[in-house]
Amino acid sequence: MESIEEKAASMLQRCETVNLASVSMEGYPRPVPMARISSKGFSTVWLTTGKDSLKVKHFLENPKAGLSYFENGNSVVLTGDVEVITDLETKKQFWMDWFIEYFPNGFEDTNYCLLKFKATYATFWIDKEFIHKEV
């Protein structure tokens, strides 16, 4: 029988879009839908954005974040921290061809960066099972 964490990880693999919330300079959450680039388990998620974006400004000021994903009535809500990744080797590793539309200079584009979300707490609602737990 699959654990709730295994169910959540499988669900995340099927989700193309997740919602990521930063904390604004005024202290308000700012959720945005984003494409999931890669993930490990249910609680580490890689995303991409422009280094000049508002969310990067927020995360550099305050790395606290929320991330959620949803599928067929099941949901996972995570809180944790975001690391802004700008090193060339990691950017190259996660590069996808469709990024070129946003970053015309490829993985070397100075505006291209990655966000690595790592959860510290999770709330699961999967198959009518409701669990809160530290990660």
Q: Tell me, what's the pLDDT at 131?
A: 97
Average pLDDT over residues 21-48: 97
Listing DSSP states for 11-45 in one string gives HHHH-SEEEEEEE-TTS-EEEEEEE--EEETTTEE
Q: Tell me, what's the pLDDT at 72?
A: 96
User: pLDDT band for position 17 (50/70/90)?
Assistant: very high
Per-residue pLDDT tens digits for 46-72: 999 999 999 999 999 999 999 999 999
Per-residue pLDDT tens digits for 75-129: 999 999 999 999 999 999 999 999 999 999 999 999 999 999 999 999 999 999 9
Q: Residue 52's domain spans which residues?
A: 4-134
C-alpha 29, offset from chain centre: 15
CA-nearest of 110, 63, 56 to 87 is: 110
CA–CA gap between residue 26 and residue 98 (Å, rounded): 34
Q: What token pair was written down for 115?
A: 């966000």
86 phi/psi in degrees, rounded to 5: -125, 0
> How many domains does one find in the chain?
1
Q: Looking at residue 48, which CATH number applies to its domain?
A: 2.30.110.10
Q: Tell me, what's the pLDDT at 1?
A: 85
Buried b (16+ CB within 10 A) or exposed e, 61-83: eebbbbbbbeeeebebbbbbebe
